Protein backbone atom coordinates (compact mmCIF):
# COMPACT_ATOMS: atom_id res chain seq x y z
CA UNK A 1 0.00 0.00 0.00
CA UNK A 2 2.82 2.46 0.78
CA UNK A 3 4.17 2.19 -2.77
CA UNK A 4 0.68 2.97 -4.09
CA UNK A 5 0.47 6.01 -1.79
CA UNK A 6 3.84 7.16 -3.11
CA UNK A 7 2.68 6.76 -6.72
CA UNK A 8 -0.53 8.63 -5.91
CA UNK A 9 1.33 11.45 -4.15
CA UNK A 10 3.45 12.08 -7.26
CA UNK A 11 0.29 12.89 -9.24
CA UNK A 12 -1.22 15.39 -6.77
CA UNK A 13 0.13 18.55 -8.50
CA UNK A 14 -1.24 17.33 -11.85
CA UNK A 15 -4.59 16.44 -10.29
CA UNK A 16 -4.82 19.87 -8.65
CA UNK A 17 -4.07 21.67 -11.91
CA UNK A 18 -6.68 19.63 -13.79
CA UNK A 19 -9.26 20.05 -11.00
CA UNK A 20 -8.77 23.82 -10.93
CA UNK A 21 -9.27 24.03 -14.66
CA UNK A 22 -12.38 21.83 -14.49
CA UNK A 23 -14.02 23.39 -11.45
CA UNK A 24 -12.96 27.01 -12.13
CA UNK A 25 -12.90 27.58 -8.38
CA UNK A 26 -9.83 27.01 -6.20
CA UNK A 27 -11.70 25.84 -3.10
CA UNK A 28 -14.00 23.56 -5.07
CA UNK A 29 -10.98 22.15 -6.91
CA UNK A 30 -9.18 21.42 -3.64
CA UNK A 31 -12.29 19.63 -2.34
CA UNK A 32 -12.48 17.70 -5.59
CA UNK A 33 -8.85 16.56 -5.31
CA UNK A 34 -9.35 15.61 -1.67
CA UNK A 35 -12.41 13.51 -2.56
CA UNK A 36 -10.49 11.90 -5.42
CA UNK A 37 -7.48 11.06 -3.22
CA UNK A 38 -9.69 9.69 -0.47
CA UNK A 39 -11.44 7.41 -2.96
CA UNK A 40 -8.15 6.40 -4.55
CA UNK A 41 -6.60 5.41 -1.23
CA UNK A 42 -9.75 3.66 -0.07
CA UNK A 43 -10.15 1.78 -3.37
CA UNK A 44 -6.49 1.35 -4.34
CA UNK A 45 -7.09 -2.38 -4.82
CA UNK A 46 -9.22 -1.53 -7.90
CA UNK A 47 -6.22 -0.12 -9.73
CA UNK A 48 -4.80 -2.69 -12.09
CA UNK A 49 -1.02 -2.48 -11.93
CA UNK A 50 -0.88 -3.09 -15.68
CA UNK A 51 -2.52 0.24 -16.37
CA UNK A 52 -1.31 3.74 -15.65
CA UNK A 53 -2.04 4.99 -12.14
CA UNK A 54 -2.16 8.48 -13.64
CA UNK A 55 -5.03 7.54 -15.96
CA UNK A 56 -6.82 5.78 -13.10
CA UNK A 57 -6.49 8.86 -10.84
CA UNK A 58 -7.58 11.29 -13.56
CA UNK A 59 -10.57 9.07 -14.36
CA UNK A 60 -11.46 9.03 -10.64
CA UNK A 61 -11.13 12.82 -10.48
CA UNK A 62 -13.24 13.35 -13.61
CA UNK A 63 -15.97 10.99 -12.37
CA UNK A 64 -15.95 12.73 -8.98
CA UNK A 65 -16.37 16.06 -10.77
CA UNK A 66 -19.20 14.83 -13.01
CA UNK A 67 -21.02 13.04 -10.19
CA UNK A 68 -20.75 16.06 -7.90
CA UNK A 69 -22.34 18.57 -10.28
CA UNK A 70 -25.95 18.16 -9.12
CA UNK A 71 -24.82 18.57 -5.49
CA UNK A 72 -22.78 21.69 -6.32
CA UNK A 73 -25.73 23.18 -8.20
CA UNK A 74 -27.97 22.67 -5.17
CA UNK A 75 -25.36 24.17 -2.84
CA UNK A 76 -24.92 27.24 -5.06
CA UNK A 77 -28.68 27.73 -5.17
CA UNK A 78 -28.74 27.92 -1.37
CA UNK A 79 -26.01 30.56 -1.06
CA UNK A 80 -27.15 34.16 -0.66
CA UNK A 81 -26.28 36.15 -3.77
CA UNK A 82 -25.53 39.43 -2.04
CA UNK A 83 -23.87 38.19 1.15
CA UNK A 84 -21.01 40.06 2.82
CA UNK A 85 -18.39 37.79 1.23
CA UNK A 86 -19.78 37.91 -2.30
CA UNK A 87 -16.91 38.54 -4.70
CA UNK A 88 -14.31 38.77 -1.93
CA UNK A 89 -11.66 37.02 -4.04
CA UNK A 90 -11.98 39.66 -6.74
CA UNK A 91 -11.79 42.48 -4.19
CA UNK A 92 -8.67 41.08 -2.54
CA UNK A 93 -6.82 40.33 -5.76
CA UNK A 94 -4.46 42.92 -7.23
CA UNK A 95 -5.48 44.21 -10.63
CA UNK A 96 -3.55 42.56 -13.46
CA UNK A 97 -0.52 44.46 -14.64
CA UNK A 98 0.71 42.51 -17.60
CA UNK A 99 -0.75 41.86 -21.00
CA UNK A 100 0.04 38.14 -20.77
CA UNK A 101 -1.95 37.94 -17.57
CA UNK A 102 -4.92 39.55 -19.29
CA UNK A 103 -4.59 37.18 -22.23
CA UNK A 104 -4.55 34.20 -19.88
CA UNK A 105 -7.61 35.57 -18.09
CA UNK A 106 -9.36 35.74 -21.46
CA UNK A 107 -8.24 32.16 -22.14
CA UNK A 108 -9.52 31.01 -18.75
CA UNK A 109 -12.86 32.72 -19.37
CA UNK A 110 -13.14 31.12 -22.82
CA UNK A 111 -12.28 27.72 -21.36
CA UNK A 112 -14.93 28.29 -18.72
CA UNK A 113 -17.56 28.83 -21.41
CA UNK A 114 -16.81 25.49 -23.06
CA UNK A 115 -19.12 22.58 -22.23
CA UNK A 116 -17.63 20.41 -19.47
CA UNK A 117 -16.95 17.47 -21.78
CA UNK A 118 -15.09 19.58 -24.34
CA UNK A 119 -13.12 21.39 -21.64
CA UNK A 120 -12.17 18.09 -20.00
CA UNK A 121 -10.84 16.66 -23.28
CA UNK A 122 -8.95 19.84 -24.16
CA UNK A 123 -7.33 20.09 -20.73
CA UNK A 124 -6.23 16.46 -20.66
CA UNK A 125 -4.55 16.76 -24.05
CA UNK A 126 -3.30 20.35 -24.14
CA UNK A 127 -2.58 20.97 -20.45
CA UNK A 128 -1.67 17.54 -19.14
CA UNK A 129 -0.01 16.31 -22.35
CA UNK A 130 -1.92 13.05 -22.50
CA UNK A 131 -2.43 11.03 -25.64
CA UNK A 132 -5.84 10.59 -27.24
CA UNK A 133 -5.91 7.00 -25.97
CA UNK A 134 -5.18 8.09 -22.38
CA UNK A 135 -7.81 10.83 -22.54
CA UNK A 136 -10.35 8.37 -23.96
CA UNK A 137 -9.60 5.96 -21.13
CA UNK A 138 -9.99 8.68 -18.48
CA UNK A 139 -13.20 10.07 -19.97
CA UNK A 140 -14.55 6.56 -20.68
CA UNK A 141 -15.37 7.39 -24.29
CA UNK A 142 -14.03 6.20 -27.67
CA UNK A 143 -10.95 7.92 -29.11
CA UNK A 144 -13.09 9.35 -31.92
CA UNK A 145 -15.26 11.10 -29.34
CA UNK A 146 -12.17 12.64 -27.74
CA UNK A 147 -11.03 13.86 -31.16
CA UNK A 148 -14.46 15.33 -31.85
CA UNK A 149 -14.67 17.09 -28.47
CA UNK A 150 -11.16 18.42 -28.87
CA UNK A 151 -11.92 19.71 -32.36
CA UNK A 152 -15.08 21.47 -31.17
CA UNK A 153 -13.25 23.00 -28.21
CA UNK A 154 -10.43 24.30 -30.41
CA UNK A 155 -12.93 25.69 -32.90
CA UNK A 156 -14.80 27.48 -30.11
CA UNK A 157 -11.54 29.05 -28.93
CA UNK A 158 -10.64 30.04 -32.50
CA UNK A 159 -14.10 31.55 -32.99
CA UNK A 160 -13.65 33.54 -29.79
CA UNK A 161 -10.26 34.61 -31.21
CA UNK A 162 -8.54 33.56 -28.01
CA UNK A 163 -4.87 32.71 -28.25
CA UNK A 164 -2.31 32.92 -25.48
CA UNK A 165 0.28 35.58 -26.29
CA UNK A 166 3.10 34.24 -24.14
CA UNK A 167 5.61 31.59 -25.10
CA UNK A 168 3.35 28.87 -23.70
CA UNK A 169 0.92 27.73 -26.37
CA UNK A 170 -1.74 25.06 -26.51
CA UNK A 171 -0.02 22.35 -28.46
CA UNK A 172 -1.42 19.92 -30.98
CA UNK A 173 -0.98 16.29 -30.08
CA UNK A 174 -1.77 13.49 -32.50
Q: Could you tell me which residues come within 8 angstroms of residue 62 by beta carbon, excluding any fewer than 6 positions away?
A: 22, 120, 138, 139
Q: Rounded to a whole number, what is the distance in angstroms from the first to the last CA of the chain?
A: 35
pTM: 0.62
Q: What is the pLDDT of residue 172?
A: 61
Q: What is the pLDDT of residue 30?
A: 92
pLDDT along the chain (174 residues), means of 10: 80 91 88 91 76 87 82 50 50 57 76 91 91 94 96 90 53 60
Alpha-helical (H) ranges within the chain are 2-10, 12-23, 26-42, 53-78, 88-92, 99-113, 116-122, 132-139, 143-159
Task: Tell me which architecture the domain covering 1-93 has in CATH.
Answer: Orthogonal Bundle (1.10)
Q: Could you tell me which residues come within 8 angstroms of residue 87 by beta carbon, excluding any fewer than 6 positions away?
A: none
Q: What is the pLDDT of residue 163?
A: 55
Half-sphere exposure of 11 (CA within 13 A, CB side): 25
What are the CA-CA distances from residue 26 to residues 30, 32, 33, 49 (Å)? 6, 10, 11, 31
Task: Compute φ and ψ for 95, nearest 5 degrees.
Answer: -65, 145
SS3 of 172, please? coil
Q: What is the pLDDT of residue 34?
A: 93
CB-CB contact of 12 with 36 (8 Å): no
Q: If you classify domain 98-174 with CATH, what class do you get?
A: mainly alpha
* Domains of the chain by residue range: 1-93, 98-174
Q: What is the pLDDT of residue 62?
A: 92
CB-CB contact of 173 with 142 (8 Å): no
Q: What is the pLDDT of residue 13?
A: 92
Amino acid sequence: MSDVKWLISREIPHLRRYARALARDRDEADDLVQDCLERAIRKHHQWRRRGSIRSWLFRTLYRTFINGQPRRTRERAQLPVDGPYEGIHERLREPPRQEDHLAWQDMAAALGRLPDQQRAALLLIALEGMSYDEAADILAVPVGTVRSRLSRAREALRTANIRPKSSVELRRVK
